[in-house]
Amino acid sequence: CINAKANHTEFVSCMNNHIILFANDSRYLFTEDMPMYSSLVTSQHNPRCSNSTTSIKPVGIVTPQNEAEIQATIMCSQKHGLQVRVRSGGHDYEGLSYLCKTPFVVIDMRNLRSVSIDIEDETAWVQSGATLGELYYSIAQKSQTHGFPAGICPSVGVGGHFSGGGFGTMVRKYGLAADSVIDAYLVDAKGRLLDREEMGEDLFWAIRGGGGASFGVIVSWKIKLVRVPEKVTVFNVHKSMDDQNTTEIIHHWQYVMHKMKHELFIRVIIQYIHDNKNTSVEAVFNSLFLGELKDLITLMNKKFPELHLKPKDCIEMSWIESVLYFAGLEKTPELLLGNKTDPYVSYFKAKSDFVTKAIPKQVFVGIREKFLQQKLVFLIMDPYGGRMNEISESHIPFPHRRGNLYNMQYLVKWDVNDVQALHDHTHWLRGLYRYMEPYVSKHPRRAYLNYRDLDIGTNRQGNTSYVEARVWGEKYFSGNFKRLAQVKSKVDPDNFFRNEQSIPLHIKHS
Ligand code: FDA
């Protein structure tokens, strides 16, 4: 306690010196004695994380308005023995952007959220504190025939999403968000502001999928926009899993989806539903087709007739309307701005897998039975193939490319904030994860960094060796983990940017 107090006072005075130096508005630093502090501390998407008994409150929350304030925060934190957590959209599944077990400071990027589009050049600069919704909205304001291939939830922050990979409805056509990043500005552990050329290709490679939090604070990203047709087609087909035929269709989806035209994305969501006192499980086939309805129907009749898709199931719309459709929002693009509506805040725990071989039908029957025992559970199956097959495993740190039929995310939500609920729900989810083990990727069983899961392994407090960290690191990054550790050793040899799953230093004999 005494140390934390000393850290606090010295940190604040160090930052105050910088405020004078940079002649800035002092409102960018919030400490516990200020009214805004507690609302900033609790500003997060998965409040279960802040129930953690081992986490402490940050010494300060900095909401920088420019790069100099980020540099000052890094320098003052280092000087006074504080760690740093960087938060952009605050969606980290395990709360690593705002929780820490030792005295720390949060750099909250909410004020750095500008988006600047250059349609002629088909590029944009977007700051890390912007949300995906703000990015999509800004693109649509300039062009109806451009888009960006990132995630589905509009409130997700660009900072965490791009640095962990990022995929959505255009993943089969254009790959990951990180695949379309062409430049970035980052503040490193020495407090230097570096662009792609200055940081070098190794570090630029690492921050596109390796997780930004291990390497510095990414201020902004230059992205290549992609082309979308004026009209796209969407559908949502609900099928009850009480009907055996639904299991057949899901089973078949595994064989056809990854080989379909790159323009087509159909994900399957298996979910518990509770209607008029009845409990059941349904599968939702949720799709974006980058083309017109008539072409979609022709394609589906030929390649996936089992779904019996009818024109009346489909809607033609603009790409930006499809973003709203997937987000479950009304047809008003302004809803994509800021945090005006955020239906996503809830207590949840998630885990992920990659599937390389079609899963037997019986397994889906078993999933249905398990889902009937537990409310608010979801299994989201996002198809790969297409462009994902064409990009090499080492192009960026995200390695899950050719050979992966789809990604699976298991998610359980609950609405009571207590320890028993946390225990029961995570216990249930871990049981489902064990059940799926024989049917998913192996040696190691792979996971997606952006669906962060501390169950797969964590660093020891203090310094974890590269060899120890391989337990979780190779699940996320496969053979790229070694290169990530080598980059880390070069750019942050004192391991200043660290957390429970940060990239460790690569020391040869460890
Ligand atoms: P947050 O701010 O919590 O950051 C996440 C991590 O990145 C932390 O370790 C943080 O320190 C680090 N970080 C953040 N900003 C940084 C910066 N500027 N510099 C350095 N490090 C930084 N994913 C997906 O691929 N497709 C999808 O469709 C969805 N959908 C989705 C919906 C919902 C409701 C949630 C909660 C999450 C998703 N995700 C997703 C997962 C999402 O991509 C993942 O949680 C991202 O890391 C979130 O980024 P944020 O900036 O919001 O999180």
ipTM of the complex: 0.99
Q: Which residues of 4-30 are buried (b: 16+ CB within 10 A; e: fewer)?
A: eeebbebbbebbeebbeeeebeeebbb
* Ligand 1 pocket: which of 50, 73, 77, 88 to mutate (most atoms within 8 A of CB): 88
Q: Is the CB of 156 under 6 A from ligand 1?
A: yes
d(CA 243, CA 409): 23
CA 30, 35, 40, 42 torsion-angle sign: positive
| pLDDT for the residue numbered 38 | 86
pLDDT of residue 45: 67
d(CA 98, CA 86): 7
Q: HSE of 471 in the Cβ direction (CA atoms, 13 Å)? A: 14
Could you tell which of 67, 92, 408 is best to mutate to test the pocket of ligand 1, judged by most ligand atoms within 8 Å of the CB? 92
Ligand 1, pocket-test mutation among 86, 104, 113, 125, most atoms within 8 A of CB: 86
Tokens 């050793």 belong to: 489
Quote the ligand 1 centre to 460 CA distance (angstroms): 23
Contact present, 328 and 398 (Cβ < 8 Å):
no
- CB-ligand 1 contact for 109 (6 Å cutoff): yes
- Helix (H) / strand (E) element for 472: namely helix 466-477
Q: Which atom of ligand 1 sits closest to the CA of residue 177?
A: 25
Find where tokens 């379909």 sit: 260
**CA 385 / ligand 1 centre spacing (Å):** 23
Residue identified by tokens 């899901």 is: 250
Contact 284, 250 (CB under 8 A): no
- Does the beta carbon of 169 lie inside 6 Å of ligand 1? no
Q: Closest residue (by CA) to atom 36 of ligand 1?
A: 91
The pTM for the full model equals 0.96
Backbone angles phi, psi at 217, to 5 degrees: -115, 115
Q: Is the CB of residue 208 below 6 angstroms from any atom belonging to ligand 1?
A: no
Structure tokens at 436: 């799926």
User: How many angstroms is it from 349 CA to the middle of ligand 1?
Assistant: 15
Residue 450 CB–ligand 1 contact under 6 Å: yes
- pLDDT tens, per residue, the chain with 510 residues: 345 566 778 998 898 887 665 655 557 889 888 888 888 887 666 777 766 666 788 999 999 999 999 999 999 999 999 999 999 999 999 999 999 989 999 999 999 999 999 999 999 999 999 999 999 999 999 999 999 999 999 999 999 999 999 999 999 999 999 999 999 999 999 999 999 999 999 999 999 999 999 999 999 999 999 999 999 999 999 999 999 999 999 999 999 999 999 999 999 999 999 877 788 999 999 999 999 999 999 999 999 999 999 999 999 999 999 999 999 888 788 888 865 445 556 789 999 999 999 999 999 999 999 999 988 899 999 999 999 999 999 999 999 999 999 999 999 999 887 889 999 999 999 999 999 999 999 999 999 999 999 999 999 876 789 999 999 999 999 999 999 999 999 999 999 999 999 999 997 644
**Closest CA relative to residue 228, chosen from 148, 168, 287, 152:** 148
What is the Å distance from ligand 1's center to 211 Cα? 9
249: nearest Cα among 231, 234, 266: 266
Residue located via tokens 């890094």: 74
User: Residue 164: CB within 6 Å of ligand 1?
Assistant: yes
Ligand 1 pocket check for 100: Cβ under 6 Å:
no
Enumerate residues 6+ apart whose C-beta is below 8 A from 300.
Answer: 307, 309
State whether the beta carbon of 326 lies less than 6 angstroms from ligand 1: no
Nearest Cα neighbor of 486 from 469, 503, 471 is 503
Q: How far apart, in Å, are the Cα atoms of 366 and each of 131, 317, 431, 432?
A: 37, 37, 12, 10
The residue whose CB lies within 8 Å of the most ligand 1 atoms, and thus the one to mutate among 69, 91, 153, is 91
Atom of ligand 1 nearest to the CA of 164: 47
Amino acid at site 385: G
Cβ of 129 closer than 6 Å to ligand 1, yes or no, is no
How many angstroms does the Cα of residue 395 sit away from the middle of ligand 1?
Answer: 21
Establish whether residue 133 lines the binding site of ligand 1, counting it when its CB lies within 6 angstroms of any ligand atom.
Answer: no
How far is the C-alpha of 54 from the C-alpha of 60, rounded, in Å? Answer: 18
Distance 458 CA to ligand 1 centre (A): 18
Q: How far apart are CA 327 and CA 151, in angstroms?
A: 10
Whether 432 and 368 have beta carbons less than 8 Å apart is answered as no
The secondary structure element, H or E, covering residue 288 is: strand 278-289
- Is the CB of 152 within 6 Å of ligand 1? yes
Phi, psi of 236 (to 5 degrees): -135, 105
Dist. CA 95 → ligand 1 center (Å): 10
Q: What is the residue with the minimal CA distance to atom 35 of ligand 1? A: 91
Separation of CA 151 and ligand 1 centre (Å): 10
What is the pLDDT at residue 43?
A: 63
Residue nearest to atom 33 of ligand 1 (CA): 153
Q: Is the CB of 163 under 6 A from ligand 1?
A: yes
pLDDT of residue 343: 52
Quote the pLDDT of residue 56: 85
Give distance in angstroms: CA of 461 to centre of ligand 1: 23
Is residue 139 within 8 A of residue 95, CB to CB? The reply is no
**Residue entry with tokens 């024989």:** 438
Alpha carbon nearest to ligand 1 atom 29, residue: 151
The response to whether residue 106 sits with its C-beta less than 6 Å from ligand 1 reads: no
Ligand 1 proximity of 45 Cβ (cutoff 6 Å)? yes
With contact defined as beta carbons under 8 Å apart, do 322 and 417 qualify? Answer: no
Catalytic residue numbers, as ranges: 451
Ligand 1 atom nearest 167 alpha carbon: 25
User: How many angstroms separate the CA atoms of 37 and 32, rounded?
Assistant: 6
**C-alpha 93 to ligand 1 mean position (Å):** 8
What does the pLDDT read at residue 33? 86
